[in-house]
Chain A
Amino acid sequence: MAEKILWANNVSQHFGGLVAVDQVSMELNKGEIVGIIGPNGAGKTTFFNDITGMYDPTEGQVFYRGKDITGKKPYEVTELGITRTFQNIRLFDRMTVIENVMVGVHSRTKANIVDSLFRLKNHKETEKKAHEKALSVLELTGLADFRYNYATSLPYGSQRKLEIARALAAEPEILLLDEPGAGMNEMETSQLIAFIRELRDLGYTILIIEHDMRVIMNICDRIYVLDHGKLIAQGKPSEIQSNPDVIEAYLGKEH
């Protein structure tokens, strides 16, 4: 029996007259990899923003493990166990690779300013945990050798990996990936596919937006298709590939 951990109920997002997300409902079960696809401007990123508290949905609710998280602040959503990456890479550019990932550990450590001013036990424990966690995540993503380089000195594909590493450091149950394969070459894409599968095996539940059909069709258990903010199809990759609406709305435009 599938365990439903994330549930969006009729979520809409209006920007003035524009309806970027229109009554979208979807659910995510523990351990799944679920894809969201759709043409440019379909509302995929906006939907992520609605789930993660970056935007307040105009209508609808988002539930995480039975709890209504609609309107929560992004940092609260992260604390609860949902972390995201960004389509347009948003790394901390004056911080090193390892510091970027250590920021990810923020919500899982608790040293406050007094602990740090007086170098109390809490401070030391936090520093130790942040460092160890960051190193282990960097090893997992193969970035450990570059840990003292500035984040933006990494090649593009590695920057995308670093975004994922930073999100993993927050110890999420659900990982939201916004076009992790964008701008990657074929080799990097193959590595990415293997890496996302590895993450699933490690127990993460993954919701992924991706334009690269190779990634989507290879790794997703289920797929949702958005077009002009509306959910036009959902199902297994094989069903989506042969769905005439999808072909018209999405694949049709590419071929």
Chain B
Amino acid sequence: MVENNQNPIDKASQQNLDEAVIKAPIKSKEKPVKRFFTSLLEFWAKHQTAISLAFLAIAILFPILFNQQYFLSIGVNVMLYATLSVSLNLITGFMGITSLSHAAFLGIGAYTAAILSTRLGANFPITFLAGAAMAGLFGLLLGLPSLRIKGRFLAIVTLGFGEIARMVELNWMSLTRGPQGISGIPKVSLFGWIMKTPAQKYYVILVILVLVVLAVAAIMNSRVGRAISAIRDDEVAAEAMGINVFGYKLMVFSISAAFAGLAGAFYAHYMSFIDPNAFSFAQSILILSVTIFGGMASIAGSIFGALTLLALPELLRFLIDYRLIIYGFVLVIMMVFQPNGLLGSFNLKHIKQQAMFRKSQERSES
């Protein structure tokens, strides 16, 4: 009898214990370094908008402070890869589908813009819209037969698509001029105003980056975004909760490709020359590296990833002989200590909600 009575009480206290564990503030038993990072993250989470605006202000002021071709070309490169990485993050980080065809969509956007502008004299906004639309269309066409395939098999299909796209670019001479590439692509002109100085080109890609970031953030903070996260975490449960998983994958894959195509259109106008080499498998791997290094499912991560992987090597140029070694070393260290990427292991929105909720609990207790 006594034993029988004891059982439920034990279990009841066990449950209280479980609840206490969840309710306990995260800070209590952490080491000082970790506590420092926790409060840093909370600060960032709370002032996210202000901090983003501060970074934007720095990006806007950069050409004024460093008005040299060399620095500005680094800036353009960083932002181009940040745009590509954010767009890849939508499908790979947020949705969990590894794609190795991002360079192909970049290329499709670039060739579309190059052909339209050199042959038909088109320019902004037509070349940008057409580049994005064409890449989005090819994303749809690739996704239709392949997005029912899972995991690494899908990655291989996307890799294959990337190679096919490059082969077409190399061999469809009448359209792409093959290995010679297309030259003489005009500069971006905004309703007659030609963007010819390095600073002007810099601002064009800055605007594109900001638009893509805002779009991805808006998507992720919505019903569609929740569906995307649910698909990443558990496709079967997502479908059971009323989400048309295949339909969403198709849509998101196509949008992600369209953003890459938009970046491609900029690339064509910026470089004024394109050839198939720029859209190789190695390019896809570089974009994927930026995304993984910066952090899966983190927009800020993609931007920091691009800053680190594209600006840092330039700054290390004085160590030119050891540059690749240092670069490789950084990547290895990173993968060991922060395998989710620089900013991939936390979600600022969740941190903010948790901090605010904890505070409101404390207030109501006192």
Q: Which residues of A contact B (CB under 8 A)?
A: 52, 54, 73-75, 78-79, 83-84, 86, 90-96, 99, 102-104, 106-109, 111-113, 115-117, 119, 123, 126-127, 130, 145-150, 153-155, 157-158, 166-167, 170, 185-188
A106 touching B243, Cβ below 8 Å: yes
Taking the closest CB of chain A, its distance from the CB of B4, in whole angstroms, is: 10
Which listed residue, A96, A106, A153, A187, touches B242 by the CB 8 Å rule? A106
Kindly identify, within residues 210 to 249 of chain B, every residue whose CB is under 8 Å from any CB belonging to chain A: 215, 218-219, 221-227, 229-230, 232-234, 236-245
B243 touching A90, Cβ below 8 Å: no
Closest to B239 in A: A74
Bound form: Cα–Cα A130–B11 in Å? 34
B22 touching A153, Cβ below 8 Å: yes
Taking the closest CB of chain A, its distance from the CB of B339, in whole angstroms, is: 15
Residues on the A chain within 8 Å of B8, using CB: 186-187
Residues on the A chain within 8 Å of B353, using CB: 96, 148
Majority secondary structure of chain B interface residues (helix, strand, loop or mixed): helix
25 pairs across A/B with beta carbons < 8 Å? Answer: A52-B240, A54-B236, A73-B239, A75-B239, A83-B240, A90-B236, A90-B237, A92-B230, A103-B230, A106-B226, A113-B219, A115-B222, A116-B218, A116-B224, A117-B218, A117-B219, A123-B223, A126-B222, A130-B226, A148-B353, A150-B350, A154-B22, A157-B15, A158-B18, A187-B15
A103 touching B226, Cβ below 8 Å: yes
Which listed residue, A93, A111, A158, touches B222 by the CB 8 Å rule? A111
Tell me whether B7 is interfacial, beta carbon within 8 Å: yes
B241 touching A170, Cβ below 8 Å: yes
Tell me whether B200 is interfacial, beta carbon within 8 Å: no
B7 touching A74, Cβ below 8 Å: no
Bound form: Cα–Cα A190–B22 in Å? 23
Closest to A191 in B: B15
Given contacts A73-B244, A188-B15, whether A119 and B232 have CB atoms under 8 Å apart is: no
Residues on the A chain within 8 Å of B255, using CB: 113
Tell me whether B19 is interfacial, beta carbon within 8 Å: yes
Closest to A166 in B: B241
B229 touching A185, Cβ below 8 Å: no
A185 touching B219, Cβ below 8 Å: no
Residues on the A chain within 8 Å of B52, using CB: none
A92 touching B234, Cβ below 8 Å: yes
Residues on the A chain within 8 Å of B11, using CB: 185-187
B230 touching A96, Cβ below 8 Å: no
Tell me whether B12 is interfacial, beta carbon within 8 Å: yes
Tell me whether B322 is interfacial, beta carbon within 8 Å: no
Which listed residue, B227, B229, B230, B240, touches A78 by the CB 8 Å rule? B240
Tell me whether B69 is interfacial, beta carbon within 8 Å: no
B233 touching A127, Cβ below 8 Å: no
Bound form: Cα–Cα A146–B147 in Å? 35
